[in-house]
Amino acid sequence: MEEGTKKTGVGVKYVLGVASGKGGVGKSTITVLLAQTAIGQGLKVGILDADITGPSIPRLLGAQDLKAEMEDGRILPPRTDDGIKLLSINLLLEDERTPVIWRGPLLSKAVEQFWNDTDWGELDLLLVDFPPGTSDVMLTAMRDLPLNGMIFVVTPMDFVSMIVSKSIQMAAKLGVPVLGFVENMGKGICPHCQKEFPLFASEEAEQALKRLSIPRLGSIPWSRELIVSEQVINAMVPKTVTLELEGIFRQILTLVST
Ligand SMILES: Nc1ncnc2c1ncn2[C@@H]1O[C@H](COP(=O)(O)OP(=O)(O)OP(=O)(O)O)[C@@H](O)[C@H]1O
Ligand SMILES: [Mg+2]
Report which protein residue has its CA nearest ligand 1's atom 15: 26
Give the pLDDT of residue 169: 93
Give me ligand 2 centre to Cα 192, in Å.
30
| Integer angstrom CA distances of residue 1 from 9, 142, 150, 182, 206 | 13, 19, 14, 21, 32
pLDDT digits over 75-84, tens only?
A: 999 999 999 9
Cα 62 to averaged position of ligand 2 atoms, centre (Å): 15
Ligand 1 atom at shortest distance from the alpha carbon of 221: 1
Ligand 1 is surrounded, with C-beta below 6 A, by 20, 23-29, 51, 54, 56, 132, 184-185, 220, 222-223, 226-228
Statement: residue 198 has pLDDT above 50? yes
Per-residue exposure over 144-176, b if at least 16 CB sit within 10 Å of its own CB, e if not: ebbbbbbbbbbbbbeebbebbbebbebbeeeeb
CATH number of the domain that residue 36 is part of: 3.40.50.300
221 closest CA partner among 17, 45, 41, 33: 33
Say whether pLDDT at 45 is over 80. Answer: yes
Q: Residue 10's pLDDT is what?
A: 76
**CA-closest residue to ligand 1 atom 5:** 227
Which protein residue has the closest C-alpha to ligand 1 atom 31? 227
pTM: 0.93
β 85-87/74-76 pair status: unpaired
Round to whole Å and give the CA distance between 161 and 170: 14
| Structural domains of the chain, count | 1
Most confident of 69-83, 185-199, 227-241: 69-83
**Protein residue closest via CA to atom 8 of ligand 1:** 26
Residue with the smallest CA separation from ligand 1 atom 25 is: 23
Q: Residue 219: which pLDDT band, with cuts at 50, 70 and 90?
A: very high
3-state secondary structure of 68: coil
Q: Which residue, among 20, 13, 6, 224, has the nearest Cα to 133 in the 3D structure?
A: 20
Please say if the pLDDT value at position 8 is more than 70. Answer: no
**Ligand 1 atom with minimal separation from the 20 CA:** 21
Which pLDDT band, with edges at 50, 70 and 90, does 189 fall under? confident
How, if at all, do strands 178-189 and 216-222 pair? parallel
> Which residue range is the domain that position 215 belongs to?
2-256
133 pLDDT more than 90: no
Ligand 1 atom closest to residue 30's alpha carbon, by position in its atom list? 18
User: Which ligand 1 atom is the nearest neighbour of the CA of 131?
Assistant: 27
Residue pair 149/1 in contact by the 8 Å Cβ criterion: no
